Amino acid sequence: MRHGYIKVAAVTPKVRVADPEYNGSQICEKMDEAMAGGAVVVVFPELSITGYTCGDLFWQDLLIEKAKEQLFRVAEHTAGKNGIVFVGLPLEYNGKLYNTAAALSGGRVLGFVPKSCIPTYNEFYEGRHFMPGMEEPVYVELPGGKGVPMGTRLLFCADTMPKLKIGAEICEDLWTPKPPSIDHALAGASLIVNLSASNENTGKDIYRKTLVESQSARLICGYVYASAGDGESTQDVVYSGHNLIAENGQILAEAPRFVNGIIYGEVDVWKLNSDRRRMGTFRTDDTGYIRMTFPLAPVETPLTRFVDPAPFVPRDKAQREKRCEEILSIQAMGLKKRLLHTGCKCAVVGISGGLDSTLALLVTARAFDLLGLDRKGIYGVTMPGFGTTDRTYDNAVKMIKSIGATFREISIREAVRQHFQDIGQDERKHDVTYENSQARERTQILMDIANQQGGMVIGTGDMSELALGWATYNGDHMSMYGVNASVPKTLVRHLVRYYADTLEDTVLREVLLDVLDTPVSPELLPPADGEISQKTEDIVGPYELHDFFLYHVVRSCFSPSKIFRLAGIAFRDTYDKETILKWMRTFYRRFFSQQFKRSCLPDGPKVGSVALSPRGDWRMPSDACADLWLKELADLSGEGRS
């Protein structure tokens, strides 16, 4: 349960219709198996003690009584076990029968949640046997004179994990316009369990999966769906055991259909709580709810879930291409509006032959096309300096000409040397002044050309550089509109590749592919034997790591120790723990110290769920203290060396 992870299980046992004793034995056996697998929340299907397909046998006193006997047997079986178990059974109350989910833990029955929505259409005729459940809890008397609550407004809360609150609903409840899980979530439930007996017909599995995905996303919750399977009557329909576990719109586990078994998933309760906390429209209301506490001993939850090393980049090729097209459109539409509003028919872009300026040029060309403007109004300016290599220079020249922009070449060498002479800077001293003087000279040139032509400077810097402060203040940090401002470096690469893959122009395509193959560098230090000597990732660290850190700091709000744990899983085949920890320290130091650059960013379009605009998503004081985060990293030093 460290870092908020709990292991859950959805179980479909073998059943015999109307044989509670056999079913009780199967439930106990599968409970043992699921808990041996580490699950602390175990969910069985609807009416699992009797079988869902008993029909009019549900009216039989004997079946009702034997089902209750087996309930107590299963409850006793939870004694000494760590966690909570949900099973389904018919329960009589005040002379009426209810389809219920019973919550069991520590050898006792905690409560009953009745099914709210009773289907009586098509092949379903539950209304013949069951009453809709009551919202306001009533008390059901159990042997020994103890009463336990029954009603839909029940939450089951872990005593050692306050953020784990569980609400239950049953099958059809989810398929209705207003599922009970909505109220559960607003009352604080971070995990919803659904005991189901959903039969199969063609295409229903797709709809079922979509329901679970979307409900978990809408409610920002974990969702465990356990469905009936083999053993139920096939008189008219077939049940497949299509179990699902979801978390905030993402399917964590899905059972193969027509095979009874157990699926597991690790749900991040802390992350769900964090997402709700930051969403101002998620308004809570726990009116009328009763909370039942169950014991949960803290245990380690080994993570088997996939941890994406590139959270900004879709893994699926089709989804990735769709994302790239969408982002390019957002960038171009943002620039289009700005050009239209200002009346500018000229855009100035500094082209270095690197990835970021390449993307900015491609976006600018797309915006001009949308406006029906001649691409000659795009001024592609290459500004060779002390660190420019033939490779990047040649690529910049070819790219500008191939795109159809107006080519300008302005060397900055003599202007910077004059500046060095003016301020008394030794040209042989390759310090921050040496580097930043070049960056600011380039920005001045671009701004002045924009003034000459009545246009605007298009910013090229990406979000990863903004996170690290890897930009010269009032140099490449500044523009009139920053089209890449919310695009992380790992995604910039895919955007350029996508553009290259869709080109018919073979010359431009070859240039773009070579840009993709060029090391990331500001080229502010002299080359070594004609090759780039200043490689950004050697200085500040790998961008794939920094983008991983950035995503989980800003989007997930995770602590350093949790991010370190996840990075160790995501990059286990790429970096050792010591290397990850080293660059994490760099990230946090720079992220806090460089906020002043982000506090005065030019306008730029947001393209994803993470952005660092001081006017939108990220409002952080420029003088915030990083000690709290760096101290936790220091505490991890031993683990990093292990």
**Domain locations in the chain as residue ranges:** 2-294, 317-640
CATH architecture of 317-640: 3-Layer(aba) Sandwich (3.40)
Active-site option among 171, 221, 324, 344: 171
Residue with tokens 């989007």: 555
Residue 606, number of CB atoms within 10 A of its CB: 17
Mean pLDDT, rounded, for 563-579 = 97
Q: Cα separation of 194 and 188, whole Å?
A: 17
- Mark whether 115 is an active-site residue: yes
Q: Looking at the predicted structure, is the pLDDT value of residue 143 above 90?
A: no
Active-site option among 30, 66, 81, 115: 115
CB 227 within 8 A of CB 237: no
CB 386 within 8 A of CB 413: yes
Residue 521: per-residue pLDDT: 81
- Mark whether 69 is an active-site residue: no
- Lowest mean pLDDT of 159-163, 605-609, 636-640, name the range: 636-640
Query: Does the pTM of the predicted model rise above 0.85?
Result: yes
Looking at domain 2-294, does it have CATH number 3.60.110.10?
yes
Please list, residue by residue across 436-463, b when 16 or more beta carbons sit within 10 angstroms of its beta carbon and e when fewer do: bbbbbbbbebbbebbeebebbbbbbbbb
Per residue in 269-292, pLDDT (tens digit) is: 999 999 999 998 999 999 999 999
Q: Please indicate whether the domains covering 2-294 and 317-640 agree at the CATH topology level.
A: no
Tokens of 488: 């992380």
The DSSP secondary structure of 575-595, one letter per residue, reads --HHHHHHHHHHHHHHHHHTH
3-state secondary structure 527-576: CECCECCCCHHHHCCCHHHHHHHHHHHHHCCCCHHHHHHHHHHHCCCCCC
316 phi and psi angles, rounded to 5 deg: -70, 130
Average pLDDT of the chain is 95
Per residue in 526-541, pLDDT (tens digit) is: 888 778 778 888 899 9
Active-site option among 7, 30, 46, 577: 46
Q: DSSP state, 3?
A: G
CB 494 within 8 A of CB 608: no
Q: Looking at the predicted structure, is the pLDDT value of residue 641 above 80?
A: no
Residue 153: per-residue pLDDT: 97
Per residue in 243-278, pLDDT (tens digit) is: 999 999 999 999 999 999 999 999 999 999 999 999
Per residue in 194-217, pLDDT (tens digit) is: 999 999 999 999 999 999 999 999
Mean pLDDT, rounded, for 169-177 = 97
Question: Which has the closest alpha carbon to 40: 305, 301, 242, 270?
Answer: 301
CB 231 within 8 A of CB 261: no
Q: Looking at the predicted structure, is the pLDDT value of residue 39 above 70?
A: yes
Query: Cα–chain-centroid distance for residue 487?
Result: 16
Q: Looking at the predicted structure, is the pLDDT value of residue 642 above 60?
A: no
Q: Cα separation of 387 and 399, whole Å?
A: 19
pLDDT band at 525; cut points 50, 70, 90: confident
Q: Cα separation of 460 and 581, whole Å?
A: 29
pLDDT band at 140; cut points 50, 70, 90: very high
pLDDT band at 456; cut points 50, 70, 90: very high
The DSSP secondary structure of 42-71, one letter per residue, reads EE--TTTTT-TT-GGGGG-HHHHHHHHHHH
CB 450 within 8 A of CB 346: yes
- Mark whether 324 is an active-site residue: no
CB-count exposure of residue 565 (10 Å: 0-12, 13-18, 19+)? buried
Per residue in 384-431, pLDDT (tens digit) is: 999 999 999 999 999 999 999 999 999 999 999 999 999 999 999 999
Q: Which residues contact 631 (CB under 8 A, 6 or more apart)?
A: none
Residue 1: per-residue pLDDT: 83
Q: Looking at the predicted structure, is the pLDDT value of residue 233 above 80?
A: yes
pLDDT band at 432; cut points 50, 70, 90: very high
Q: Quick check: helix, strand or coil at residue 111?
A: strand
Q: Cα separation of 442 and 411, whole Å?
A: 9
**507 CB-side CA count, 13 A:** 11
Question: Which has the closest alpha carbon to 369: 409, 331, 396, 401?
Answer: 331
Question: Which has the closest alpha carbon to 33: 9, 50, 16, 51?
Answer: 9
CB 12 within 8 A of CB 227: yes
Residue 640: per-residue pLDDT: 62
Q: Is 33 left (phi over 0), alpha (psi -120 to 50) or beta?
A: alpha
Q: Cα separation of 489 and 633, whole Å?
A: 24
Residue 537: per-residue pLDDT: 86
